[in-house]
Amino acid sequence: MKMRSIKQSILGLAAAMLASCNALDLGPTDTIDPSRAFRNVNDLNMGLLGAYAVLDFTLIGVTSVVSDEAVMPEENTVSNSDAYRWLYTSSSGSVTSAFAEYYMAIDRANRVLAAMDQVSAANAAEEQLKARYRGELLALRAYAHFELLRAYASAYEPGALGVPYMKESAIGSPTRAPFEAVVANLYGDLATAKSLIPSDFTDRTRITSAAVSAMQARVALYARDWELAHQYASEAIERAPLADRSDFADIWVDQSQAEVIWKLSRVVGDSRIGGFYFREAGGIALYAPSQKLMATYDRNNDIRFSAYVSHQPGRGAGKSEYLVEKYRGGDPDAPGLTDIKLFRTGELYLIKAEALAEDNQISAANEALNTLRSQRIAGYADRHYGGKDDLIQAVYEERYKELAFEGHRFFDLRRRRLPVERSPLDAANTSGALTLTPNQAQYALPIPTDELRVNPNMEQNPNY
């Protein structure tokens, strides 16, 4: 994929938005004139859907490859190995393409937000829709900025290089805001969004108030604001209970929406997340579960193992016996096509457990962790960790198992400044890339070369 800068993402979007929305009446110009593009409330919704449409699984895939979740089997001779072997640079599209994707979503959201006040509602019902759309747009803008922060911040601490927080489609040369300033903007957008999205709006393919609470919990976790992380996680949990063990596998073949708080709906013709891990044409495993990850599961009793991993010993010599099952999908005519689950209640229990442990509420933290495990592991007997450090370590191990291939592991290690350590059992095809330490450049993803070239105010992450 050709990389684009923030400027390039802002310019030339008319054709893209027309393709995704079919709602814009534009003249021959490089930019979108909100007064002509958005003339009624339905147009605003079409613009909002155009912003949603940009979101994809790019970071989910790349972070599973650069962490210790996945291995690149020898049978994979078609994928770029730079990300897997930690050889990426600012010119490596595998790790930089998400930068332009999220800023494109942000720009589309900002364009609709800029037009809102110029669009009149025909009645009270439309006025309510306008308010909800504004809330969704602000939350979507916050979500995209947070994903950029997780991927491209130099570190998750005050004073670290964050990302530009774009609140309007102004073409300029933005600078990188510090981590804490981005967090403050995230809190602001999400608080306003929550006040605008009604609690009875429950479409899980769009951002609901429960999804905003889940976003707030995740932001607070990274900001190490333990009280808020616990508070917001509890809000989301109250709205979306954990799936029963009997329903859990059905989530991943889109037969159940249990505990799914927000997902990206995918239909035939859309990109297939399962295709990132397994290429049906030729039956090639591009990436497979690591031995290190698989060793963490109770294979006989933990429903997550069979939901996430399939064992196929008959694939032939030189091919992986284990495949990523999580995104294979339930339609044999569209293998690999599944909805992309962005927020689930399982994650919220782990946020709650970690926040409570950090706040020295050990008993409550144990309860949150045991509640999750009891819904995943048959015959599970509660465990109680007496010390804060042991409990937090247990939460991290549970996040590794619960959230495998969902785009969290690499960022979780970075949150604690821990190295990425692959098992010697996973050494094949790594070219020796078994340990990535916090002092190496690739511990943070690079700002794209295109952005650096066109924006003199953009600063690269350390050591690149």
State the pLDDT at residue 35.
Answer: 65
Residue 32 has pLDDT above 90, yes or no: no
Q: Identify residue 409 by its one-letter amino acid code.
A: R
Residue 1 has pLDDT above 50, yes or no: no
**Per-domain residue ranges for the chain?**
1-55+87-198
For residues 264 and 337, the answer to whether their CB atoms sit within 8 Å is no
Q: Are strands 340-344 and 260-264 parallel, antiparallel or unpaired?
A: antiparallel
Mean pLDDT value of segment 258-275: 96
Burial 259-293 (b: 16+ CB within 10 A, else e): bbbbbbebeeeeebbbbbbbbeeeebbbbbbbbbb
At 70-120, the pLDDT tens digits run 999 999 998 889 999 999 999 999 999 999 999 999 999 999 999 999 999
Name the pLDDT band for 11 (thresholds 50, 70, 90): very low
Find out if CATH 1.25.40.890 is the number for domain 1-55+87-198: yes
Residue 22 has pLDDT above 70, yes or no: no
The first and second tokens of residue 10, run together, are: 């802002």
Residue 16 has pLDDT above 80, yes or no: no
Name the pLDDT band for 10 (thresholds 50, 70, 90): very low
State the pLDDT at residue 141.
Answer: 98
pTM of the model: 0.93
Percent of the chain predicted with pLDDT > 90: 89
At 338-397, the pLDDT tens digits run 999 999 999 999 999 999 999 999 999 999 999 999 999 999 999 999 999 999 999 999
For residues 441 and 461, the answer to whether their CB atoms sit within 8 Å is yes
At 214-242, the pLDDT tens digits run 999 999 999 999 999 999 999 999 999 99
